[in-house]
Structure 1
Amino acid sequence: MTQISNAIATRDNGPEAIVRQHKDDLTLVLPSHVKGETWMRLAYGVLRSNTQLMQVATRNPGSLMTALQDCARLGHEPASKSFYLVPFGNEIQGIEGYRGVVERIYRAGAVKVVHAEVVYENDEFVWEPGTVDTHQPPRWEGPQTVPFHRADWFADRGEVKGAFSYGIFQDGTPSRVVIINRTYINKVRKESKGSESPKSPWVKWFDQMVLKTVAHRLEPWVPTSTEWRKEQLRATAEVTAEQAGPAVITPPASTGPGYPEPTSPEDFNDDTPIEGELVD
């Protein structure tokens, strides 16, 4: 009987109650493709099914709300393979997985293929943009537009040397190629809280964290939001209306739902064509 009473008290006064109180705040930031009621039920279910998560959330409910708000803003399901809720000491961290980054790119609809690979010391890797590619099979003859990567998948490939990523747009053209080296990977890991802990994903799933890191570097060069697609449809509709004849069009707000996520100012100011990026 005592256990039942404690469970009811936790439900009415604990982290789940706090999540319920902030339901409107959480569902307000959800992208349009996510159903608010379904998302909230998943959030409640995570707390009920994970004792350790519930205990840490009870001690530090603020960290839970921060993690859930990040999860909602990115359009992921709580505690899924796309977004992890990880207890670290006395707080909960929300960690977007590699799968989550790639999902957001695909959702926008502009990219049909996302390519990301970890490069090891014993792999063959060639990236000489703009040169005639002699490394690729005959069908790739001509200027090199994407890196060439060859690996013996069943041998000892050595230590992680770096990673690369690029997208293929719907018309078949590649996006900007992003390449990161081990120095950059180590820098990102060092800035990640608790990265040396045995429970850290940097310790348990190092390769996956490297893939997520390089995928994040690709984000500024490809659309990553379903709102981007809506903006393209809206722009197309406006052009069609203008071509059809004079019309009164009320200009929409410059921010808010229906508009692409903010990107770096460099995306708009750099007129020089760059085929690749090496982050050091």
Structure 2
Amino acid sequence: MTENTVTNAVALRDNGPGAMVEQYREEYAALVPSHVNADQWIRLAVGAIRGNRMLEQAAKTDVGVFLRELKTAARLGLEPGTEQFYLTPRKSKDHNWNFIIKGIVGYQGIVELIYRAGAVSSVVVETVRANDTFRYVIGRDERPVHDVDWFGGDRGDLVGVYAYAVMKDGATSKVVILNRQQVMAAKAKSDSASGKGADYSPWNTNEEAMWLKTAARRLAKWVPTSAEYMREQLRAQAEVAGELPSGAAPTLPVPQPPAAIPDEDGGGDEGPIEAEFVDDEPTGTDWPAAAQPGSGARQ
């Protein structure tokens, strides 16, 4: 590679989305919560883009959208480009169906926010597969009993997911249990799973993580102070809307209080998070026979 080629490559990199993140380093550092290492956060954001040509090109399509998505991650205190906060390419009608960047809070991000609320000592979010043993009777059992033969070979297909929190006083929160039909209903509400750019959606690249996320989001309703966090996030998103016009070099706003769990990944695909929660945990008959609560059956 000639010296001129290297110089041109560095110039392109330094004028790209990664350079924009570096340019607004101080503003992002002011947005992240105090417990987050701002320098590490910036390195993760820049590395996620510079290490993925598809993401870098999508960020270039509309750098304002990209920086706005990073702003959400910063205010949440979540790590961009990880399972806390995915950065995904999404085709946009407003950009002639070219890819732009969309940020998606992952299940690890939601669990982090639940812990940060300060009311829980532990959070359990697990998927259930057809060959597992799963027992839980509503009104009788405090917590599910989930036995897995880790060394027995294939656990089978995903059949369900559950989540609960243990509070600091030792009490157990409401146990959230979802079967495949309910998870697929949540997936159907997200255009990221089937719309343009679906190949890059976590629903299609990391399906099990999205099952976990669906349960974790529903658990958040039943954890003390989660409603306060959700109200703060809705207020924060209202402030964010329209701040970064398409194609413009954005000026990030003054620091705001930390926010929490945002909408589902579609930026409105499912509406406010509270609209997703329903008291529809399945009874034993909703589960496949191999993993019925209370069945104790192992295959």
User: TM-score range, shorter-chain basis?
Assistant: 0.5 to 0.7
Q: For residue 213 of structure 2, what is the aligned residue in structure 1? A: 212
Change (3 A) 1:191 1:28: farther
SS, match of residue 173 in structure 1: coil
Q: Does 2:45 match 1:48?
A: no
Q: For residue 161 of structure 2, what is the aligned residue in structure 1? A: 163
Q: For residue 100 of structure 2, what is the aligned residue in structure 1? A: 91
SS, match of residue 101 in structure 2: strand
Which residue identity lines up with residue 222 of structure 2 in the other structure?
Answer: W
CA contact (8 A) 2:32 2:258 kept: no
Which residue identity lines up with residue 168 of structure 2 in the other structure?
Answer: Q
Total equivalences in the alignment: 232
Measure how far apart 1:186 and its partner are.
Answer: 0.8
CA RMSD of aligned residues (A): 3.6
CA distance in 2 between partners of 1:14 and 1:200 (Å)? 24
Change (3 A) 1:167 1:92: same
Q: For residue 81 of structure 1, what is the aligned residue in structure 2? A: 83
Which of the numbers 139, 142, 146 marks the counterpart of 1:145? 142
CA distance in 2 between partners of 1:36 and 1:16 (Å)? 15
Which residue identity lines up with residue 93 of structure 1 in the other structure?
Answer: K
- TM-score by structure 1 length? 0.67
CA contact (8 A) 2:113 2:261 kept: no
Q: For residue 119 of structure 2, what is the aligned residue in structure 1? A: 110
- Structure exhibiting the larger radius of gyration computed from Cα positions: 1
Between the aligned residues of both structures, percent identity stands at: 42
Change (3 A) 1:208 1:42: closer
CA distance in 1 between partners of 2:37 and 2:69 (Å)? 18
CA distance in 1 between partners of 2:259 and 2:21 (Å)? 28
CA contact (8 A) 2:76 2:258 kept: no
Structure 2, unaligned stretches of length 5 or more? 92-98, 230-255, 263-271, 287-299
Measure how far apart 1:214 and its partner are.
Answer: 0.5
Which residue identity lines up with residue 214 of structure 1 in the other structure?
Answer: A
CA distance in 2 between partners of 1:68 and 1:223 (Å)? 27
Structure 1, unaligned stretches of length 5 or more? 132-143, 229-255, 267-275
Which of the numbers 175, 190, 193 marks the counterpart of 1:192? 190
Measure how far apart 1:5 and its partner are.
Answer: 4.3
Which of the numbers 54, 59, 65 marks the counterpart of 2:61? 59
CA distance in 2 between partners of 1:277 and 1:147 (Å)? 17
- Residues 198-225 of structure 1, C-alpha deviations (whole Å, 9 max, x = no match): 4432223222211111011111222588
Change (3 A) 1:48 1:123: closer
Structure with greater contact order relative to length (CA < 8 Å, sep ≥ 6) = 2
CA distance in 2 between partners of 1:259 and 1:58 (Å)? 27
Change (3 A) 1:40 1:157: closer
> Which contiguous aligned blocks of 4+ residues in structure 1 show a shift greater than 6 angstroms?
258-262
Change (3 A) 1:110 1:277: farther
Q: For residue 10 of structure 1, what is the aligned residue in structure 2? A: 12
CA contact (8 A) 2:133 2:147 kept: yes
Which residue identity lines up with residue 167 of structure 2 in the other structure?
Answer: F
Measure how far apart 1:75 and its partner are.
Answer: 0.8
CA distance in 1 between partners of 2:46 and 2:209 (Å)? 27
Change (3 A) 1:120 1:16: closer
CA distance in 2 between partners of 1:205 and 1:265 (Å)? 21
Change (3 A) 1:178 1:49: same
